[in-house]
Amino acid sequence: MPHVRRNVWTLPADDKTLEWYGKAVGALKQRPITDPTSWWSLGAIHGIDVDIWQGFNFISATTPLPPVSMQNTLWRQCQHMTWYFLPWHRGFVSAFEQIVRDAVTKLGGPDDWTIPYWDYSDTDEARELPRAFAKPTLPDGSPNFLHVKQRYGAVQFPNVQNPIKLDPRAVAVAATLAENFFEGTADGGSAGFGGVKTPFSHGDSDGTFGVLETTPHGGVHVLVGGGFRGNQLSQNPLELGLMTNPDTAALDPIFWLHHANIDRLWNVWLRQIRRPGMPADAFKNPTDTDWLEGPSDRKFVMPGIDGVLHKYNAQDMLDTKAPGLDYVYDDDAVAPPPVTTLSARLESLGVAPARASELAGAVTMAPPKPAELLGANAGTVRIDSDVVESPVRLDEGQRQRLSASLQANNLAAAAKQPDHVYLRLENIKSPTDAGMFYVYVNLPQGADPEQHPDHLAGTVSMFGVSKASKPQGPTGGNGASASFDITPIVDRLHTQSALGNELKVQLVSAVPGTGSGDVSIGRISVYRQGH
Amino acid sequence: MPALQVAWQAVKRLPAPLLAATAAGWTVLALRESSASLPAFCLSGDTLSGNIAALTRLPDLALMLLAMMPPLLASPLQHVWRRSLTRRRGRAIALFVLGYVAIWLAVGVLLVTASLVLAAATALPAIAIGALIALGWQATPLKQASLNLCHRRPALEAFGIRAEIDALVYGTTHGIWCAGACWSLMLLPLLAGGPLHWVLMPMVMLIAIVERARAPQPMRWNAAWPRLRVGREVRALNYRAACRNPPTAVLETAP
Ligand SMILES: [Cu+2]
């Protein structure tokens, strides 16, 4: 029987999973960084910056490192802003789990240890950092290896959050799970549940975050790691908490529970039921060989428990019960939360209920057409205060086409799907990863954002953005892009006859007082996608 | 071979109009070559006659650009296309191409002149000098800097005259970065005549595609030599523990 990964917040009181996890982390930390199964090398597989690691005293200037050829093969592999995000991280977490299980067994523990997952979207209580990770010492006074003091940003603004509790907006997964397609496109439509198609490991330098990668993945990283610092953004990476920076994130033991949850959400998404009106490849993995066998310019490599390196690619990661992975989640049989069906959407747009369900069954399941630009703001937006508003002008011709596609009469007459609308933040640049903001559309003047969840488009964190902003970085200094499905917001504006020639986009700093003019967005655009 | 695989990926993803453009360029070049009535346009050392050469060769250079550049332009052109309003897409593409071609034609005049001068001025075969120049430029940090800049995908205004200016400026600056990355490679086929010319053109195109597909790199000497990460794995196979607690790292295929 495969190993079962369980929810960390609902483990039984006498459960020893976390106790053994802590002991194993201690043991892996004893292994030298030249050992591919050491805590250090496992962290470096995700990313390593030798200067930062020395600054945090994880290694010293004299620590022997593995040969450069070995580093180039094994280290700095993490896949972000690409459709390889999920399969690469699945192989990463699984290799880690097997190495920890082996260490637990060698320490005299059970031989079936699995990594628990942190489902922060589950309940109010679950948004808190699991308590076993927050105490510096164990009850007997010995060090708790699940606690790392470098987890907490040195300049947390206004002060260290204790306990760490995630904002509900950062972990709202309903919209993420409702995303129909795995594969995103860079044409302005959906960024896809799993990310944008990139032929090479770092794509066409467009740097678009996938939908799951944006929410909840990036926000959890930055809210756990912190390092916010008022309006004078810190350029000192040692002031950020480990989880905020991709080059240190995997050195926080909570990283693995976070990514186990991201991996679980992939399974939950695959269990969504395809409803009438949804295209044939909705809630399915890509079948494109570019994904299954790619990327073409490098191979993914992980160590086994014996330190032997194995190559893998996406097609090896599809079945978690396969011998190489050998795990399931405790909720794998639970029905996923329902997503808005086409007939519900048609009803919300004013089509009579009976006709709506009839249409939803009859609508041709055409794949989406390439997206077209519907409008954009003018000039660069700087996030220099807690709330920054930017007007997004809509092109008159495109707006009329959108309105016509949402018109109840038109919908009731022709079996055609109404358009989808996406909001894009393009060329997001930041000198630090410790930044995060919420994106709203048409918030009423002076309103408290938290009271208006129906205007929330999504969350953007700067996780990985500082690297993407460097001219020599993976996206050539173009920064990152994020995309949000704002169809429900636009539908509502339409039915209220409030869809004019302009949308107002509000960017609200997640931590008040941390806005900075150094964080900028090259353009805010809206795209219309027909079927 | 990884290089061919990467190039195939790039060509496979080419939008139809660009594929047609590149095919047209190669076809016309081949037709001109086989047509005996026209002089071989590519210099073969002994064909240097008259000084009008530089200008009369420009159409040939334009054809070479048409044949070789579309795969390199796919990504920036798609950027312009996707980020422009549908009704303005044609205009934006035209302005981008205008700026890009203007730069390359100016650089082209210089390259053709240089190729004539090189052929006339030295006793060595011009192609040998050209190869030295190309290798030298490849080693400089400026080459990698140009390649990095080729990855720039700037924000583009959507409305008004600002949209027009952005497209033109992007095409022009992209032309400069592209010429910075490719001028020394483009010089090679200009210096060779006959069969060698036809060997060099596709080789140069392959190198240009592969180095453009590679992610940006830190700017330093020798950063720009074409290399791929998969190549390095072979060296990792030879990794035999320099470490204290050495599990011998050997690559095996996934189970
Ligand atoms: Cu992550």
How many domains in chain A? 2
Same domain, A399 and A519: yes
Please check whether residues A126 and A257 belong to one and the same domain. yes
Determine which helix (DSSP H) or strand (DSSP E) holds A392, and give its type and residue range. strand A387-394
- Specify whether A195 is located in the same domain as A106: yes
A290 to chain B, any CB pair closer than 8 A? The answer is yes
A11-36 per-position pLDDT tens digit:
999 999 999 999 999 999 999 999 99
pLDDT at B252: 40
ipTM reported for the complex surpasses 0.95: no
Residues 209-268 of A with CB under 8 A from B: none
CB distance B215–A525 less than 8 Å? Answer: no
Contact B101, B70 (CB under 8 A): no
Distances in Å between the Cα of B226 and the Cα atoms of A269, A352, B2, B135, B185 are 40, 62, 11, 12, 13
Calculate how far, in angstroms, residue A437's C-alpha sits from the geometric centre of ligand 1.
18
Which are the contacts of A452, defined by CB distance < 8 A and separation ≥ 6?
Answer: A440, A443, A444
pLDDT interval class at A525 (50, 70, 90):
very high
Question: Containing domain of residue A403, as a range?
Answer: 366-529
Q: Does residue B48 surpass a pLDDT of 50?
A: no
Average pLDDT over residues A319-345: 89
User: Does residue B64 surpass a pLDDT of 70?
Assistant: yes
Residue appearing with tokens 């495969």: A2
Query: What percentage of chain A has pLDDT greater than the value 70?
Result: 95
Q: Contact A476/B149, CB-based, under 8 Å?
A: yes
Lookup: tokens for A447:
């309103």
**Separation between Cα atoms, residue A24 and residue A101, nearest integer Å:** 8
Residue in A37, A70, A305 to test binding to B, most B beta-carbons within 10 Å? A70
* Pick from B5, B13, B157: CB nearest A378: B157
- Domain boundary residue, one of A302, A329, A356: A329
pLDDT tens, position by position, A117-174: 999 999 999 999 999 999 999 999 999 999 998 998 776 655 666 789 999 999 999 9
Assess contact for A302 and A310: CB atoms under 8 A: yes
- In angstroms, the CA B114 to CA A253 distance is 61
**Residue length, chain B?**
255
CB A32 within 8 A of CB A38: yes
In a domain, A86, yes or no: yes
- The verdict on a CB contact (< 8 Å) between B82 and A373 is yes
Q: How far apart are CA A337 and CA A306, in angstroms?
A: 40
Where among A329, A358, A376 does a domain terminate? A329
| Domain identity same for A322 and A390 | no
Which strand (E) or helix (H) includes residue A147? none
Kindly indicate the confidence band of residue B51, based on its pLDDT and cuts at 50, 70 and 90.
very low
Higher pLDDT, B211 or A266: A266
B contacts of A312 (beta carbons < 8 Å):
254
- Cα separation values, B69 from A385, B73, B228, Å: 44, 6, 22
Q: What is the largest CA-CA distance in chain A?
A: 74
| A85, A194 Cβ separation under 8 angstroms | yes
pLDDT in tens, B66-120: 998 998 899 899 999 999 999 999 999 999 999 999 999 899 888 888 888 887 7
Helical H segments across chain B, by residue range? 2-12, 16-34, 53-56, 58-68, 70-82, 89-121, 126-139, 141-150, 160-191, 194-213, 229-237
Name A298's Cβ contacts closer than 8 Å, sequence gap at least 6: A201, B228, B229, B230
Q: Are residues A325 and A375 in the same domain?
A: no
**Quick check: A188 contacting B, CB < 8 Å?**
yes
Q: What pLDDT score was predicted for residue B248?
A: 38
A-B contacts (CB, under 8 Å)? 195
Residues A395 and A442 in one domain: yes
Judging contacts by C-beta atoms under 8 Å, the chain B residues touching residue A310 are 251-255
Q: How far is CA A223 from CA A315, A399, B142, B245, in A?
A: 32, 37, 40, 37
Mean pLDDT of the B213-217 span? 80
Query: Is A401 at the interface with chain B, CB within 8 A?
Result: no
Cα B15 to Cα A101, B22, B88, B96: the distances in Å are: 49, 11, 19, 17
β-bridge pairing A381-383 and A436-441: unpaired
Q: Is residue A54 part of a domain?
A: no
Looking at chain A, the whole-number percentage of residues with pLDDT higher than 90 is: 68
- Please indicate, yes or no, if residue A341 is contained in any of the structural domains: no
What does the DSSP 8-state code read for residue A169? G
Are A280 and A195 part of one and the same domain? yes
Count of positions (residues) in chain A: 531
Residues A285, A427, single domain; the answer is no
Report yes or no on A498 lying in a domain.
yes
Q: Which residue has the higher pLDDT, A17 or B3?
A: A17
Q: Mean of the per-residue pLDDT values for chain A?
A: 91
**What band does B37 get if pLDDT is binned at 50, 70 and 90?**
very low
**Which residues in B lie closer than 8 A to residue A326 (C-beta atoms)?**
none
Instruction: Evaluate whether A528 touches A398 at the Cβ level (below 8 Å).
Output: yes
CATH of the domain at A495: 2.60.120.230
- The C-alpha atoms of residue B152 and residue A464 are separated, in whole angstroms, by 18
Q: Is the pLDDT reported for residue B231 higher than 80?
A: no
* Pair (A290, A386) in one structural domain: no
Asked if the Cβ–Cβ distance from B245 to A205 is below 8 Å, we say no
Q: Tell me what pLDDT residue A25 has.
A: 98
Q: What does the pLDDT read at residue B11?
A: 79
Residue A236 lies in a domain: yes
Q: Which residue of B has its CA nearest to A379?
A: B157
Burial zone of A142 (CB within 10 Å; 0-12 exposed, 13-18 middle, 19+ buried): exposed
**Nearest residue to A286 (alpha-carbon basis) of A193, A368, A179:** A193
Domain locations in chain B?
A: 2-244
Residue B148 near residue B216, CB atoms below 8 Å: yes
Can you tell me the distance from the alpha carbon of A226 to that of A154, in angstroms, rounded to the nearest whole number? 9
Cβ neighbours of B228 in A, within 8 Å: 297-298
Query: Structure pTM?
Result: 0.90
Given a cut of 80, whether residue B243 has pLDDT beyond it is no
Tell me the pLDDT tens digit for each residue of A464-486.
999 889 887 777 889 999 999 99
**Contacts A379 to B, Cβ<8 Å:** 157
Cβ-defined contact of B149 to A471 (cutoff 8 Å)? yes
Cα–Cα distance for residue pair A238/A54, rounded to 1 Å: 10
Inside any domain, residue A338: no
CATH code (residue A181):
1.10.1280.10
Q: Could you tell me if A49 lies within 8 Å of chain B, comparing CB atoms?
A: no
> Are A441 and A395 contained in the same domain?
yes
Q: Enumerate residues 6+ apart whose C-beta is below 8 A from B208.
A: B68, B72, B181, B182, B185
Residues A319 and A457 grouped into a single domain: no
Query: How distant is the alpha carbon of residue A360 from its chain centre?
Result: 31
Contact predicate A398/B85, CB 8 Å: yes
Classify residue A44: in a domain, yes or no: no
What are the residue ranges of helices labelled H in A433-507? 465-468, 487-495
**Tokens standing for A37?**
């199964």
Q: Is the pLDDT of residue B227 over 80?
A: no
- Any CB–CB contact under 8 A between A378 and chain B? yes
Checking DSSP bridges between strand A327-329 and strand A195-196, what pairing results, if any? unpaired
- Residue whose entry in the numeric block shows the structure tokens 């510096």: A136
What mean pLDDT do residues A62-80 have?
A: 90
Q: CB distance A323–B9 less than 8 Å?
A: no
* pLDDT(B233) > 50: no
Q: Which of B1, B12, B79, B86 to mutate to test the interface with A (most CBs of A within 10 A)?
A: B86
DSSP state of A37: T
Residue A7 phi/psi, 5-degree rounding, is: -70, 120
Q: Is some CB atom of chain B closer than 8 A to the CB atom of A292?
A: no
For residue A259, the CA-to-ligand 1 centroid distance in Å is: 6
pLDDT for A280: 83
Nearest-Cα distance to chain B for A479, in Å, is 9
For an interface test with B, give the residue of A45, A50, A73 to mutate (most B CBs within 10 A).
A73
pLDDT score, position A98: 97
Write the CB contacts of A350 (distance below 8 Å, at least 6 apart in sequence): A408, A495
Give the pLDDT mean for A288-293.
Answer: 91
Look over chain B and give the mean of its residue pLDDT values, rounded to a whole number.
Answer: 78
Place of tokens 């422009």: B84
**Residue A51 dihedral angles phi and psi, to the nearest 5°:** -65, -45
CB A370 within 8 A of CB A512: no
The residue in chain B having the minimum alpha-carbon distance to the alpha carbon of residue A37 is B247
Q: Which of the pair, A186 or B165, is modelled with greater confidence? A: B165
| Residue listed under structure tokens 């209580």 | A125
Ligand 1: centre distance to CA A275 (Å): 31
Residue type, position B86, single letter: T
